[in-house]
Amino acid sequence: MGESWVNYAERVGVDLHLELSAPGGRRAALTGALREAVRDGRLAPGTRLPPYRSLAADLGVARNTVADAYAELVAEGWLTARQGSGTRVADRVEPSRAATRAPRKMPPRARGPRHDLRQGSPDASSFPRAAWLASYRRALQGAPSEVFGPGDPAGRRELREALAEYLARARGVRADPGRIVICSGFAHALRLLFEPGHAKATARGGPGSAVLRGPLAVEAYGLGFHRRLLTAAGVRTVPLSLDEDGARVDLLGRERGVLLTPAHQFPTGGPLHATRRAAVVDWARARDAVVLEDDYDGEFRYDRKPVGAVQGLDPERVVHIGSVSKSLSPALRLGWMVLPERYVEGVLAVKGEREAWASVLDQLSLADFIASGAYDRHVRRMRQQYRRRRDRLVEALAEHAPHVEVTGVAAGLHAVLRLPPGTERSTLKAAAWQGVALDGLAEFRHPEERTPEDADPAVRDGLVVGYATPPEHAYGAALDALCAVLPPP
């Protein structure tokens, strides 16, 4: 007879798969299948079974076959039958096999560090749950029905309009909603720009073309993940040396573009000098090249007003990329690109015909969060909190390790601690032994960049300390542990 699906949805609200191919006739097969379903827990105690006639019709068997099977299971104690209550699974039955099996031995769970001072994450405990929930509710209640269909690959118009206003006001970006494309973060933006995608990706490209092509100049210190992503897309990255004024854009040559973190160089700290901001735009104009601006934490500046975006100098030569991963949470997976007009069609072609990355409901919630002023309030509150944390870090080092220089503290969520030459690796080992998670400066160096011995003093041995990651109650202990592992003078 084979396998049969019994649909109880209209009667008892569950679906049940019964195997009726066992030998011994239809009644024996049905009795065994029901007994197995109870034993395995697929039919829970108290579950009401369908009437004889209904189950017989579903399975294509005689009514008496079902009645006999039920009667046998009632006699065995698997089922109960009462007048007016129907046939139900007995409350006390043999435990399921899953419950009686010996527990599977799980591998021991790796213990995390006692103190997490790695860069890259905001304080997760400070996520504005109440305000976000209020925005989510308003967005959900006011959402038109078409929101629940396939999403627009450009992103919801509501969010693009809110971002255009906010970025113009807070970051000096010259943005039109029609030139903003929503993505899931900076890495996703790089994929949309550089990975081969669609025949319409560029006006000059054929099938499989990417929107942008290499070689691409990158800062000599940056996230290795981004470099590896570009390499996987066939883009050669050329390191651009750094000094106290930021990236040496005067060394740019025949590259097709340059990737910069001009508001707060990652990870060494410090903004790109004003003359170099103008110079890189002039270079892009002369070379018909493009500047990729990673504005990863531009809102968090402590000693003066935030540095405006380079995009404001020439919207047709700069791709401005941002996200909420530092300001709100990386869990939201929401970012944006403000594109030169000539790249919009290509990016949308690569992205596809519908939104496949960023939740439409989260987009609407962020649009409300920005428009209601909650985003500004949250950023101001976190700016004050992170500044206090930065100050505590500086004060702790001044007291316990005055020989260690702290740099890159005017902005962002991390600082760089300059170490004596040759001590970075041993300090990281000592920190790991004491349960302190830290990043070393060498981890972020481009493999083709000069060694620290030959490089500018601004980028020699050091630690990249993320002071935003620990929850507030654990921050003091994390600072004590950090100071304890630093090398002596």
Indicate if the pLDDT at residue 480 is higher than 90.
yes
Q: Identify the architecture of domain 3-100 in CATH.
A: Orthogonal Bundle (1.10)
**pLDDT > 70 fraction of the chain, expressed in percent and rounded:** 87
**pLDDT > 90 fraction of the chain, expressed in percent and rounded:** 60
Q: What is the mean pLDDT of residues 265-279?
A: 93
Tens digits of per-residue pLDDT, 185-244?
999 999 999 987 644 544 444 445 679 988 999 999 999 999 999 999 999 999 999 999
Tens digits of per-residue pLDDT, 351-395?
988 888 889 999 999 999 999 999 999 999 999 999 999 999 999
Asked if residue 272 lies in contact with residue 247, where contact means CB atoms within 8 angstroms, the answer is yes
Indicate if the pLDDT at residue 328 is higher than 50.
yes
Domain with CATH 3.90.1150.10 in the chain: 379-485
In this prediction, residue 199 carries a pLDDT of 45
Asked if residue 214 lies in contact with residue 230, where contact means CB atoms within 8 angstroms, the answer is yes
**pTM score of the predicted model:** 0.78
Tens digits of per-residue pLDDT, 469-478?
998 899 999 9
In this prediction, residue 101 carries a pLDDT of 47
Q: Identify the architecture of domain 126-376 in CATH.
A: 3-Layer(aba) Sandwich (3.40)
Indicate if the pLDDT at residue 99 is higher than 50.
no
Q: What is the radius of gyration, based on Cα positions, of the chain?
A: 31
As a CATH number, domain 379-485 is 3.90.1150.10
In this prediction, residue 310 carries a pLDDT of 96
d(C-alpha 327, C-alpha 455), whole Å: 33
Asked if residue 8 lies in contact with residue 51, where contact means CB atoms within 8 angstroms, the answer is no
Domain with CATH 1.10.10.10 in the chain: 3-100
In this prediction, residue 204 carries a pLDDT of 42
Domain with CATH 3.40.640.10 in the chain: 126-376
In this prediction, residue 102 carries a pLDDT of 47
In this prediction, residue 88 carries a pLDDT of 87
Lowest pLDDT segment from 28-37, 96-105, 108-117: 96-105
Mean pLDDT for the chain overall: 86
pLDDT band at 429 (very low <50, low <70, confident <90, very high): very high
